[in-house]
């Protein structure tokens, strides 16, 4: 029986409404937590890579700092140079094959989103730190602060305020990019849409609903982020 486009949209919404909402909740959870953890990872990587190497430092310290900078650069190069879908496959199946770790799809998905966001956040945070007046660090050293203390109390708070719009962009992108995690059976929104479409062979109608939900999620998050940014800049 042909119910027409809107008839099928209504039917699938009634039949799979709870499934779609659960998928949207998982996608939102992965995006928000992945962005927060990725911001933490990227910030730590950037701060460690930016530790200055002074001529009077011992050779072992200079070598250690060089190794840290190399590791951070390699991490950024690897994660930015490969697709998230491939990373998900490698981590999910590789953890079992190499280390006998039985990761759940959601835990593997969260790990992938976090480290992928962290790789991009390293460069974003570097730009945020560079946007802070260098005199701030010099002033902190002049009153006896160490590198990490100055970063934690003076530099990073200002850098975070400067990169809030970019963090928001990462969050919006991650909401949409969680769809690739369906490849490792994470039952997020895209996975739920594919299940509904496959059961009734109504792909256009099912993914029309999925598209609408993604648009609602990203629109709400954009409004919240804009409001948060206005509060910070008052």
Distance CA 181, CA 85 (A): 7
Q: Do the Cβ atoms of 84 and 177 come closer than 8 Å?
A: yes
Reply yes or no on whether the pLDDT at 1 is more than 70: no
How much is the pLDDT for 89?
94
Calculate the CA 50 to chain-centre distance.
22
Reply yes or no on whether the pLDDT at 100 is more than 90: no
For the stretch 27-64, pLDDT in tens is 999 999 999 999 999 999 999 988 887 777 788 888 98
Work out the end-to-end distance of the chain between its first and last CA atoms, rounded to an integer number of angstroms.
Answer: 58
CATH superfamily of 4-232: MetI-like (1.10.3720.10)
For the stretch 126-144, pLDDT in tens is 888 888 888 888 888 888 8
For the stretch 109-119, pLDDT in tens is 999 999 999 99
Q: Give residue limits of the domains in the chain.
A: 4-232
How much is the pLDDT for 110?
96
Distance CA 209, CA 219 (A): 15
Q: What is the pTM of this model?
A: 0.90
How much is the pLDDT for 91?
94
Q: Do the Cβ atoms of 57 and 64 come closer than 8 Å?
A: no
pLDDT band at 122 (very low <50, low <70, confident <90, very high): very high
Distance CA 183, CA 200 (A): 21
For the stretch 156-211, pLDDT in tens is 888 888 898 899 999 999 999 999 999 999 999 999 999 999 888 889 999 999 99
């Amino acid at each position: 029986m042909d119910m027409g486009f809107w008839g099928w949209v209504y039917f699938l919404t009634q039949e799979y409404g709870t499934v779609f909402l659960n998928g949207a909740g998982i996608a939102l959870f992965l995006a928000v937590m992945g962005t927060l953890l990725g911001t933490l990872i990227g910030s730590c990587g950037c701060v460690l890579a930016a530790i200055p190497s002074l001529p009077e430092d011992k050779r072992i310290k200079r070598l250690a700092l060089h190794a840290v900078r190399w590791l951070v650069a390699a991490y950024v190069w690897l994660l930015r140079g490969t697709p998230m879908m491939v990373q998900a496959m490698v981590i999910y199946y590789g953890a079992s094959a190499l280390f006998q770790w039985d990761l759940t799809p959601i835990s593997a998905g969260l790990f992938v989103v976090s480290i992928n966001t962290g790789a991009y956040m390293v460069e974003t945070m570097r730009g945020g730190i560079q946007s802070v007046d260098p005199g701030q660090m010099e002033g902190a050293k002049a009153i006896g602060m160490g590198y990490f203390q100055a970063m934690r109390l003076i530099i990073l708070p200002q850098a975070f305020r400067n990169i809030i719009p970019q963090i928001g962009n990462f969050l919006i992108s991650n909401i949409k990019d969680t769809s690739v995690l369906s490849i490792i059976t994470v039952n997020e929104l895209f996975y739920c849409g594919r299940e509904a479409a496959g059961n009734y062979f109504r792909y256009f109608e099912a993914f029309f609903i999925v598209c609408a939900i993604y648009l609602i999620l990203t629109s709400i998050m954009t409004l919240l982020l804009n409001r948060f940014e206005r509060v910070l800049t008052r």
